[in-house]
């Protein structure tokens, strides 16, 4: 699937905003969310950083083709999702071992947190990521878009090519599947 369909439409209000405020301002506003989505989809800090830069480079190059049918954030998420899917399908992604367990949660601690709290946060983050990794791709994506990125059902539907009602139903099933899988990863349940 092509991330952006070519169009001959005139630049939109969002495109004008991008040109007025400059690439840096848009990058600053949206890069953290794009990075976080890429990190959750790819599970690797380095790949997520690279993907974030690639997404903004693609968006900048294709800005004239942005139709404005959706918000700029939604358009960037669509590019991110498609780019990450392409990376996951590449030979490199299929044959490399991820180092996400070691590095993914190293930067989660606040300055005032105790070492015990830091360890608990890291372990919880790893448990959440392991749970997301066992879910079907569609469920994982919907959970990330609606729960983490706080997109509406309509926006998530735009990105996934579904109706808002379909997103709502699948999200309900995804939450149930996540809860069941998360319970299976409970260390106390397994005596550890």
pLDDT digits (tens, 9 = 90+) for 160-192: 899 999 999 999 999 999 889 888 876 665 554
Q: What was the pLDDT predicted at 1?
A: 43
Question: How confident is the model at residue 3, as a pLDDT?
Answer: 44
The whole model's pTM is what? 0.60
pLDDT of res. 72:
82
Q: What's the angle, vertex CA 2, arms to CA 93 and CA 36, rounded to 5?
A: 50
Return averaged pLDDT per consecutive 10 residues of the chain, 192 residues in all: 41 54 77 89 87 89 76 87 86 54 49 68 78 88 83 88 92 91 72 50
Domains of the chain as residue ranges with CATH? 7-96 (1.10.1740.10), 105-187 (1.10.10.10)
pLDDT at residue 85, rounded to an integer = 87
pLDDT score, position 6:
37
pLDDT at 188: 62
> What pLDDT was estimated at residue 16?
57
- First-to-final CA distance of the chain: 44
Asked if residues 42 and 88 have their Cβ atoms less than 8 Å apart, the reply is yes
Helices (H), the chain: 13-42, 45-61, 72-89, 91-95, 100-103, 115-134, 137-142, 153-160, 164-184
pLDDT at 57: 87
């Amino acid at each position: 699937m092509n991330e952006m369909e070519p169009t001959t439409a005139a630049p939109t209000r969002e495109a004008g905003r991008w040109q007025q405020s400059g690439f840096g301002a848009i990058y600053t506003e949206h890069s953290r969310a794009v990075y976080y989505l890429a990190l959750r989809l790819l599970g690797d800090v380095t790949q997520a950083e690279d993907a974030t830069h690639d997404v903004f480079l693609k968006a900048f190059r294709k800005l004239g083709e942005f139709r404005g049918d959706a918000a700029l954030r939604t358009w960037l998420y669509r590019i991110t999702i498609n780019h990450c899917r392409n990376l996951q399908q590449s030979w490199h992604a299929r044959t490399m071992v991820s180092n996400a367990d070691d590095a993914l949660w190293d930067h989660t601690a606040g300055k005032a947190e105790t070492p015990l709290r830091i360890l608990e946060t890291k372990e919880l983050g790893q448990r959440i990521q392991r749970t997301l990794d066992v879910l079907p791709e569609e469920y994982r994506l919907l959970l990330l878009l609606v729960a983490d990125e706080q997109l509406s059902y309509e926006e998530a539907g735009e990105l996934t090519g579904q109706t808002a009602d379909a997103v709502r139903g699948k999200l309900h099933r995804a939450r149930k599947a996540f809860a069941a899988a998360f319970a299976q990863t409970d260390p106390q349940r397994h005596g550890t």
